[in-house]
């Protein structure tokens, strides 16, 4: 009931240590961006890594070499995708979301909110969590690519240049 054989326990222990070492090595080689805040694409890779690791550890038909190759390939594909996204706007738009303006100049942007499935209550909560008491004090609320809200008050807005990459209703860009 607690285990089949001592060999099975030893196998899991050895596979865990070796797979862990392979995963850490692959992640370290791929660089800091592999561990950055996750967007949807990064989440898929993370889930795939976890699933692969679990399979390696618990499925006796998967060898350490097969598992290590799978882990290294997933991390390498993540690295190549990040590299391509930095160098190709078309690829970046394919694999990564862009931030979305949800509130501008104190006014909710209903079309953008509906497209992103965000309620007015969620935007208000984000504003309150920043210690802002009035929607009219807010220059912009942005839904970032990692799903977090950024709240920029009028006093913080400056020229608004930080909003240059933010998608706006009808596909236009946010202006300062």
pLDDT in tens, 97-125: 788 999 998 899 999 999 889 999 999 99
Q: What is the pTM of this model?
A: 0.60
H-helix or E-strand spanning residue 70: helix 64-87
- pLDDT at residue 170, as a whole number: 39
Q: How does the average pLDDT of the chain come out, rounded? A: 82
> What would the DSSP string read from start to end of 93-130?
HHHS---EEEEETTEE-HHHHHHHT--HHHHHHHHHHT
Sign of the torsion formed by the C-alpha atoms of 125, 40, 78 and 65: positive
């Amino acid at each position: 009931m607690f285990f089949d054989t001592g060999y099975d326990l030893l196998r899991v222990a050895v596979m865990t240590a070796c797979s862990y070492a392979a995963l850490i090595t692959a992640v370290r080689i791929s660089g800091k961006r592999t561990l950055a805040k996750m967007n949807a694409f990064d989440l898929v890779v993370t889930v795939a890594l976890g699933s692969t690791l679990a399979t390696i550890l618990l499925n006796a038909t998967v060898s350490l070499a097969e598992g290590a190759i799978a882990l290294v390939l997933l991390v390498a594909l993540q690295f190549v995708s990040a590299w391509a996204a930095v160098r190709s706007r078309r690829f970046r738009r394919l694999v990564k979301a862009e931030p979305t303006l949800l509130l501008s100049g104190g006014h909710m942007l209903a079309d953008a909110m509906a497209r992103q499935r965000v309620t007015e209550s969620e935007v208000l909560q984000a504003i309150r969590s920043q210690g802002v008491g009035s929607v009219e004090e807010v220059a912009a609320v942005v839904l970032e690519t990692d799903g977090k809200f950024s709240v920029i008050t009028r006093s913080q807005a400056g020229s608004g240049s930080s909003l240059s990459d933010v998608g706006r209703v009808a596909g236009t860009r946010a202006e300062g």
